Amino acid sequence: MKHSVCVLGGGSFGTALANIMANNGHQVSQWMRNEEQVEEINLTGLNSRYLPNAPLHRELLATSNLEQAIRESDTVFVSIPSKSFEQVVHRIEPLLTADKILISTTKGFNPNRFELMSDVLRRNSITQKIGVLSGPNLAKEIAAGQMTGSVIASADDLVRQRVIELLKSPTFRVYENRDSKGVELAGALKNIYAIVCGLAKALNVGENTMSMIMTRSLAEMSRFAVHFGANPMTFLGLAGMGDLIATCTSPLSRNYRVGFAIGSGENLDDAVGGIGEVAEGVNTLKMVVEEAHKHGLYMPLAEGLSKLLFDNAKLESLIGSMMTGEQKWDVEFATNEESDNV
């Protein structure tokens, strides 16, 4: 069955997803604010700002007409940066019907409060057919046809099956998960640790060090998420460990590039401004450290990075937080009801 799909957002990931679905024969409109970008995509089949080397399917329609794009769709992918996410959702709220499916692909938190993007959708829409798409999904690799796996998380069977139907292809495979909270938290949290890994790589640390940073990052991520109701096993899959590996090792990752720039001597503003796209990890870091303090959660890497970026702490404090902090068990994939020693 062919579907009518709207992708909100003209960035790299939204464009990559829209192109897959158009290639699969679905009717796809991609909404964006920039009229020049709309015209370029429709006339040349290129999104030169975000995916300059990726020819787009000729039936993919770019549009700035939000009302038409929403009304004509049965499924809406929201690929909007977190800082603009709620504003756009408010605009589409009057256009939504109870049968529409909404999918968030944004890996971050509401910048105004500690709230996940799917919760913003639930709070501002009549439909409760909501899902989260996340995983090790570097947009340039997807657009280049590199084999990629992703995760659709939703308690609703129809939502999961719809997304699989829309996106499955010889190079893009979608796995299912019912743990929306875990999948979404994993996608948001790993951006913090991609900054740490980029910074470490700029300092030319060894593979032993990088391995330790990444595994301790996973421990912090799962510790935080389990406290807020996530399933710790989610962090062993594509949405957790998979996304962490891709984001913490690839120069295609925006947050990794921010960390690398800082490790190379740039200040935070120049590092963020230099990548030309939104790096969610900086804002996520502020919110996560604040929540960790409120709930007494042990997050030494996030805490150390926060002090480095916002409190003018020395780099040695970040290193010291990992090497001389409170001694902990190696493996911490335990639920709230289980022992800390697994």
Q: Is 224 annotated as a binding residue?
A: no
Q: Is 107 annotated as a binding residue?
A: yes
Q: Is 14 annotated as a binding residue?
A: yes
Q: Is 250 annotated as a binding residue?
A: no
Q: Is 50 annotated as a binding residue?
A: yes
Q: Is 10 annotated as a binding residue?
A: yes
Q: Is 286 annotated as a binding residue?
A: no
User: For residue 296, what are the β-bridge partners?
Assistant: none
**Cβ distance 284 to 276 under 8 Å?**
no
> Residue 217's CB: how many other CB atoms inside 10 A?
22
Q: Is 12 annotated as a binding residue?
A: yes
Give 140-200 as a DSSP string: HHHHTT--EEEEEE-S-HHHHHHHHHHH-BTTEEEEEES-HHHHHHHHHHHHHHHHHHHHH
Q: Is 190 a catalytic residue?
A: yes
Q: Is 183 annotated as a binding residue?
A: no
Helix, strand, coil percentages (3-state) for the chain, rounded to 5, are: 50, 15, 35
Q: Is 49 annotated as a binding residue?
A: no
Cα 56–61–63 angle (5° rounding)?
A: 125
Q: How many CA atoms lie within 13 A of 250 on its CB side?
A: 16
One-letter amino acid of 70: I
Q: Is 139 annotated as a binding residue?
A: yes
Give the closest residue to 49 by CA, choosing from 82, 15, 23. Answer: 15
Q: CA-to-CA distance for 140 and 207, rounded, in angstroms?
A: 26
Q: Is 314 annotated as a binding residue?
A: no
The active-site residue, picked from 190, 286, 307, 328, is 190
Q: Is 255 annotated as a binding residue?
A: yes
User: For residue 148, what are the β-bridge partners?
Assistant: 172
Q: Is 253 annotated as a binding residue?
A: yes
State the residue for tokens 């893009």: 172
Residues that constitute the known binding site for substrate: 107, 254-255
- Binding-site residues sit at 9-14, 33, 50, 107, 135, 139, 190, 243, 253-255, 278, 280
Binding-site positions for sn-glycerol 3-phosphate read 107, 135, 190, 243, 253-255
Binding-site residues from annotation for NADPH: 12-13, 33, 50, 107, 139, 254, 278, 280
Residues acting as catalytic residues = 190
